[in-house]
Amino acid sequence: QFTEEKLGQAEKTELDAHFENLLARADCTKNWTEKILRQTEVLLQPNPSARVEEFLYEKLDRKVPSRVTNGELLAQYMTEAANDFGPGTPYGKTLIKVGETQRRLGAAEREFIRSASINFLTPLRNFLEGDWRTISKERRILQNRRLDLDACKARLKKAKAAEAKAAVTP
């Protein structure tokens, strides 16, 4: 039935226009959700190898090791430099102040990444891995049922044509 429909040799039962609209909206939602999810992951972790590592940890159901943010690393370097120059020198004092600010910025960045992952990325993944799989499964079932219906209609049509032909020729 599917092949005959594709070749234009069989009639296809059309689905309700409202339902077709819902299917199109679902496809659009899925596509945009995937794009937004991927781009957010790139924004939160620009390093591709680190993203792959995080993905592997996630698939293995292991905890992703905590990484030092660039701000925290810079703060560490500034604090070490300040200790080298002497915390009492003007340059040392400045490095300590700026280093502490960088440390707080790095901690805020780490918290933002954690929060965005939990509160934003997790619901997107749940939609793609849960709801979308259910939609796809139900869509396949519906398509198979429609094909079965159309095949039965075609057999009925052929049977009626054969019956009419048998009734005409005694």
Place of tokens 């992951």: 41
Q: Is residue 81 part of a domain?
A: yes
pLDDT on residue 8: 67
Q: Is residue 137 part of a domain?
A: yes
Cα Dmax for the chain:
118
Q: What pLDDT, in 10s, does the model give residues 42-93? A: 999 888 888 888 888 887 888 877 888 889 999 999 999 999 999 999 999 9
Q: How many domains does the chain have?
A: 1
Q: Is residue 78 part of a domain?
A: yes
Q: Is residue 164 part of a domain?
A: no
State the pTM of this model: 0.73
Of 125, 72, 73, the closest CA to residue 103 belongs to: 72
- Categorize the per-residue pLDDT at 170 as very low, low, confident or very high, splitting at 50, 70 and 90: low
CATH number of domain containing 87: 1.20.1270.60
Q: Is residue 105 part of a domain?
A: yes
Of 69, 137, 129, 131, the closest CA to residue 105 belongs to: 69
pLDDT on residue 35: 97
What distance in Å separates the CA atoms of residue 109 and residue 123, rounded to the nearest whole number?
21
Q: Is residue 129 part of a domain?
A: yes
List, in sequence order, the alpha helices (H) in 2-89: 2-7, 17-44, 48-59, 70-85
Structural domain of 117: 15-148
Q: Is residue 8 part of a domain?
A: no
Q: Is residue 44 part of a domain?
A: yes
Q: What pLDDT, in 10s, does the model give residues 92-146? A: 999 999 999 999 999 999 999 999 989 999 999 999 999 999 999 999 999 899 9
